[in-house]
Amino acid sequence: MTEAAKAPWRATILTLFPEMFPGPLGISLAGDALGRGVWGIEARDIREHGIGRHRAVDDTPAGGGVGMVMRADVLGAAIDAATDPDDGRPRLYMSPRGTPLTQARVRQLAAGPGVLVLCGRFEGVDERAITGRGLEEVSVGDYILSGGEIAALVLLDACVRLLPGVMGKDASGEEESFETGLLEYPHYTRPRDWEGRAIPEVLLGGNHKAIAAWRRAEALRLTRERRPDLLARGPKEPR
Q: Are residues 48 and 26 in the same domain?
A: yes
**What b-and-e string marks burial along 47-61, b requiring 16 or more CB atoms within 10 Å of the CB?**
bebbeeeeeebbbee
Whether residues 118 and 213 share a domain: the answer is no
pLDDT of residue 191: 98
Query: CA 117, CA 98: separation in Å to the nearest integer?
Result: 13
Q: Return the pLDDT at 172.
A: 55
165 found inside a domain? no
Q: What pLDDT is attached to residue 238? A: 45
pLDDT of residue 204: 98
Mean pLDDT by 10 residues, the chain (239 residues): 81 98 98 98 98 97 97 98 96 98 97 98 97 98 97 98 87 67 96 98 98 97 96 64
Quick one: 19 and 62 in the same domain? yes
How far is 57 from 39, CA to CA, in rounded Å?
30
- Residue 96 and residue 188 share a domain: no
Boundary of a domain, candidates 108, 137, 160: 160
Number of independent structural domains in the chain: 2
DSSP state of 95: E
Give yes or no for a contact between 94 and 151, defined as CB atoms under 8 angstroms apart: yes
Whether residue 100 sits in one domain with residue 34 = yes
Looking at the fold, whether 178 and 150 belong to one and the same domain comes out as no
User: According to the model, what pLDDT value does residue 237 have?
Assistant: 47
> H helices of 111-170, where?
127-132, 148-160
Q: What CATH number is given to the structural domain containing 34?
A: 3.40.1280.10
Q: Would you state the pLDDT for residue 226?
A: 97
Q: What integer pLDDT is reported at residue 78 of this predicted model?
A: 98
- Contacts of 183-187 spanning 24+ positions with Cβ under 8 A: 183/219, 183/222, 183/223, 183/226, 183/227, 183/230, 184/219, 184/222, 185/214, 185/215, 185/216, 185/218, 185/219, 185/222, 186/218, 186/222
HEC string of 190-227? CCCEECCEECCHHHHCCCHHHHHHHHHHHHHHHHHHHC
Which pLDDT score is estimated for 128?
Answer: 98
Phi, psi dihedral angles at 119 (to 5 degrees): -105, 110
Residue numbers of the domain that contains 180: 174-233
- Domain's final residue, options 160, 193, 219: 160
Residue 28 is inside which H or E element, if any? helix 28-35
3-state secondary structure of 236: coil
